[in-house]
Amino acid sequence: MKVLVLNCGSSSIKYRLFELPAGNVLTSGEVERIGEAESLLRYSLPGNSSPVENRHPIADHREGLAGIMAALLESGTVQELTELAAIGHRVVHGGECFRQPIRVDDEVIARIRDMIPLAPLHNPANLMGIEVAIQVAPQATQVAVFDTAYHQSLPPHAWHYALPYSLYTEHRVRRYGFHGTSHHYVAKQAATFLGKPLDQLNLISLHLGNGASATAIRNGQSIDTSMGMTPLEGLVMGTRCGDIDPAIHSYLNRVREMSIEEVDRMLNRDSGLKGLCGHNDMREVHELADAGDESALLALDVYGYRLKKYIGAYFAALGRVDAIVFTGGIGENDSGIRTLACSGLEALGIHIDDAPPRPAANNILCLHREDSPVRVLVIPTNEELEIAVQTMDCISNRVA
């Protein structure tokens, strides 16, 4: 069956069309700069090296998605839109409502709308994508797949903050966690690779991209995760600070007269690697560090140390760990960061091989020594494929 995966942002739509169950990508592309004078529809077809680019004004998401559908037809990827069995939508925040993917109906739309205060930057765009997809491709089943859903298995002691209880009951203040689709995907890949059923597998999964999060997985289920009520908590990220003392807000308000909004913006956009050394892209941080730049060297140390602390904490939470999994742009490519995170943890049974990583099946790399009790793996993530598979499972009434 053909499943289209959509990831809608405020001025962009990314898409990928899969043939399932094989998992082949038939085409992928994106619409950028929606609402601007020169919008762009770009897509590629397997076997064609250069992408097709089409520049013209695209007024809104409805026009953008109509353009994507026209591109699917023109390129011959589908002969008729009725071939699209389903459209899987990435939705950032599912709150406590959604533990798994769900077919979209009016009630689901109302509940996703109700979640907007929790994810004001993401859910409105995700919702707009769903609403225009219903208009543009009414024959396809629409399925919502939530970034938060995988973490709904957290026990209360992991998701409660030590705040007045009424903040949870009245305002839904709690840990939700994000990147769930990626953590779930690499956990399933790890289970296949290690030849152990997912429901018997304990993992520490580290998704290190522009955003970054760590997840403790017991018997295949998320039992703790570093991002919190918002994606700001936890690890050091490209521009986000991760864990800090919450009293810094009021201190900055007093000594610099910064408003809550200004502090918020600083913590989300001007902190993390960027705050420490001026660059949020890890490759640039390495270039500076290689040239001896002190602030870049410090940024790497802070980043690696935070990761190591989370590995230790999640080891304590899990008791037994089968494997540590690195994924995301940094996790998949940056051997220096992986070494910083895992070095000195031999007492926990984590032994990294001095030899180069050993390639294994499915583009997986093994970093551990053969005799290491804890395996250390690099597993490329594929959130779009996971959304497509969960969408297929949902419309086939299989549990994702």
CB contact at 8 A, 400 and 143: no
Nearer to ligand ADP, 322 or 384 (CB): 384
Give the nearest residue (CB) to ligand ADP. Answer: 329
The single residue among 67, 101, 209, 234 that binds ligand ADP, judged by CB under 6 A, is: 209
Does 12 engage in binding with ligand ADP (CB under 6 A)?
Answer: no
Sign (positive or negative) of CA dihedral 185, 186, 191, 197: negative
Tokens of 52: 């097709």
Query: For 59, which DSSP code?
Result: -
Question: Does residue 56 interact with ligand ADP by CB under 6 A?
Answer: no
Q: Between β-strands 40-44 and 52-55, what pairing exists: parallel, antiparallel or unpaired?
A: antiparallel
Task: Please report whether residue 333 would count as binding ligand ADP according to CB under 6 A.
Answer: yes
What's the token pair of residue 326? 């690195």
Residue 328 in the binding site for ligand ADP (CB under 6 A): yes
For 282, counting Cβ atoms within 10 Å of its Cβ (0-12 exposed, 13-18 middle, 19+ buried), the class is buried
53's tokens: 């680019």
Residues 174-187: b if buried by 16+ CB within 10 A, e if exposed: bbbbbbbbbbbbbb
Stretch touching ligand ADP by CB under 6 A, among 6-14, 254-262, 264-272, 322-330: 322-330
Q: Is position 322 an interface residue for ligand ADP (rule: CB under 6 A)?
A: no
What tokens were used for 253?
Answer: 């308000």
Tokens of 230: 């918002």
Q: Which is nearer to ligand ADP, 278 or 312 (CB)?
A: 278
Q: Which stretch binds ligand ADP (CB under 6 A): 222-230, 295-303, 310-318, 329-337?
A: 329-337
User: Is residue 281 near ligand ADP by the rule CB under 6 A?
Assistant: yes
Query: Is 227 or 394 the residue whose CB approaches ligand ADP more closely?
Result: 227
Q: Which of 106, 114, 147, 224 is catalytic?
A: 147
**CA–CA distance, 295 with 300 (Å, rounded to integer):** 9
Which of 67, 88, 121, 101 has the alpha carbon at shortest distance from 269?
121
**Cβ 195 vs Cβ 217: under 8 Å:** no
| 255 alpha-carbon distance from chain centroid | 36
Judged by CB under 6 A, the stretch of 155-163, 190-198, 278-286, 311-319 that binds ligand ADP is: 278-286
Categorise residue 328: left if φ over 0, alpha if ψ from -120 to 50, beta otherwise. left
Interface with ligand ADP by CB under 6 A: which range of 256-264, 280-288, 318-326, 384-392? 280-288
Q: Which is nearer to ligand ADP, 329 or 349 (CB)?
A: 329
Does residue 210 touch ligand ADP according to CB under 6 A?
yes
88 or 220: CB nearest ligand ADP:
88
- Residue 231 makes contact with ligand ADP by CB under 6 A: no
- Site for ligand ADP (CB under 6 A): which residue of 224, 233, 334, 386? 334
**Does residue 330 belong to the site contacting ligand ADP (CB under 6 A)?**
yes
Backbone φ and ψ for 246, nearest 5 degrees, come out as: -65, -15
Q: How far is the CB of 94 from ligand ADP (least distance, A)?
A: 19
Residue 98, amino acid? F
Query: Which CB sits closer to ligand ADP, 147 or 224?
Result: 147
CB of 355 to ligand ADP, least distance (A): 20
147 is catalytic: yes
What is the C-alpha separation between 276 and 300, in angstroms, rounded?
9
Q: How big is the site for ligand ADP, counted in residues (CB under 6 A)?
A: 12
Contact yes or no for 329/286 (Cβ under 8 A) = no
Residue at token pair 């949020």 = 280
77 vs 382, which CB is nearer to ligand ADP?
382
Which residues are registered as beta bridge partners of 25? 18
Q: Shortest distance, CB of residue 44 to ligand ADP, whole angstroms? A: 17
Is residue 94 close enough to count as binding ligand ADP by CB under 6 A? Answer: no
* 172 contact partners, CB below 8 Å, separation of at least 6: 95, 96, 118
Is omega for the bond preceding 155 within 30 degrees of 0, making it cis? no
Asked if 329 interacts with ligand ADP (CB under 6 A), we say yes
Whichever of 211 and 228 has its CB closer to ligand ADP, that residue is: 211
Among 180, 234, 238, 272, binds ligand ADP (CB under 6 A): 238
Residues of this chain that interact with ligand ADP (CB under 6 A) are: 209-211, 238, 281-283, 328-330, 333-334
* Active-site residue list: 147
